[in-house]
Amino acid sequence: MEAQTKKLMCDLPAHNSVPAKYVLPFQNRPRDQELLDDLSVALPVIDLQAAVGEGRPQVVRKIMEAGKEFGFFQVINHGLGEDVIQGFREAAGQFFGLPEEEKLQYYFDDQSKPFRVVSGHITSYNNTNDMRYWHDCLKIWCYPVDKLMHQWPSQPEIFRESLAKYSTAVHELGRRLLRMIAEGLGFDDHDFFEGDLTGGDTPMNVFYYPPCPDPSLTMGVRPHCDRYILTVLSQGGVGGLQAKYRGRWIRVQPIHNAFVINFGLQMEIVTNGLFASVEYRVVTNMVKERMSVAAFIRPSTDSRIGPAPGVMNGPPKFRDFTWDEYTKAYEATLGNREAMLDFFKL
């Protein structure tokens, strides 16, 4: 198969220049002047081991402060073993390294497929001639494991077992964090987020970003907010993730085996604006490939979403809505925070 007919970036030889379909309009390209250079501003790093015992109130307070100020934070000593984290990262890397024909049997546009591989998500949901971003992506329905495991690839051999261990552990980490958030919100029921608000099957995106010959012309992922309640991200050892803070972008520094946690638009609405949902983007680099693994804690599709009763943040700022209504609005706005919040404001 000739290089120009290949569908996945991981199967292409190294580029000497950025192909035209990846070159973004000037106003959409990353620019150094958009970065906040103040090194004193960084995402909080929260040690979850301190939450065992008497230190729990302090950890809950730090999570609440991070959610209000940044909408993002990193967690360390979270209880997931390095073997679980690196085991799945290795398996995902092996998948991207499979022969092209093995990967392309999962190359679908159909979003209902439980496992698929895509490349360079287009900049519009309805225009297939639109420009693309610099990545390949595995899109996986990863939890509940018992329901979904049989639909995952059997190759590489370690893939199913390592994904099952990883997704189970990450889901439990998400639930643990949500219990602490419910506690910080003052809810008597620390399991407030159980049930419909987090009862949907868990999707996962595994992004592969090859080295880019000119990072000033393109991006790995466009600026957007996540749509769900909570995202748990393993970004690995190569930087590229940037979060928006007071109108500028800050680099999210990699920390070995840490997880980046960010609140999605639904969390901002459920907490009546107490927590921020924050836009982020991914920039490329010329030297190193990068891989990130994001799991999304999401509501069930028959749920109604709106400000939680009892959130002490003034009168309701948003109306209730259905899952279908929310999904259509997200796709229409491409995850733009201001447009989404305006859509549901009272």
36 pLDDT higher than 60: yes
Residue-wise pLDDT for 52-64, tens only, equals 889 999 999 999 9
Q: Tokens 């490939």 map to which residue?
A: 289
Mind listing the pLDDT tens digit for each residue in 173-202? 999 999 999 999 998 888 999 988 899 999
Number of domains in the chain: 1
- pTM strictly above 0.85: yes
119 in any annotated domain: yes
User: 22: which 2 tokens?
Assistant: 């990846």
Residue ranges making up the domain that contains 64: 48-344
- Do residues 264 and 171 touch, judged by C-beta distance below 8 A? no
Is residue 202 in some structural domain?
yes
Q: Which two tokens stand for residue 56?
A: 């729990």
- Identify whether 112 is part of a domain: yes
Establish if 14 belongs to a structural domain: no
Residue 6 placed within a domain: no
Which pLDDT tens digit goes with each residue over 287-301? 999 999 999 999 999
Q: Is residue 173 part of a domain?
A: yes
CATH of the domain at 162: 2.60.120.330
Confirm whether 182 is domain-assigned.
yes
> Which residue reads 């991006």 in tokens?
219
Question: Residue 153 domain-assigned?
Answer: yes
